[in-house]
Amino acid sequence: MGFADPVNYIVVGFDGDYAMLRNESEPEAPLTQVAIALLPEGTTDGSRIQRVLMEYTLLS
């Protein structure tokens, strides 16, 4: 899997200015921490988002 390949995440929570994301294809992997400012408006707990080249898109 390359850096430009899409990766889908589920937002599992927030910690201050960061969102904690679970990789859908590797649920046993450690959570990924991402600054909330990088996420699309409307992102909440349980949202599905996709990352491509450090750009995040809200899926649902």
For residue 18, is it within any domain?
A: yes
CA–CA gap between residue 41 and residue 27 (Å, rounded): 24
For residue 1, is it within any domain?
A: no
For residue 2, is it within any domain?
A: no
Between the CA of residue 39 and those of 15, 18, 28, 58, 60, what are the distances in Å? Answer: 14, 10, 22, 8, 13
For residue 20, is it within any domain?
A: yes
- Total domains in the chain come to 1
**Residue 1 pLDDT greater than 70, yes or no:** no
**Res 4: pLDDT:** 84
Q: Which domain holds residue 44?
A: 7-58
pTM of structure: 0.90
For residue 43, is it within any domain?
A: yes
CA–CA gap between residue 5 and residue 37 (Å, rounded): 22
15-56 confidence digits (pLDDT tens)? 999 999 999 999 999 999 999 999 999 999 999 999 999 899
CA–CA gap between residue 38 and residue 21 (Å, rounded): 13
CATH (domain of 35): 2.40.50
Tokens for 5, please give them: 């390949």
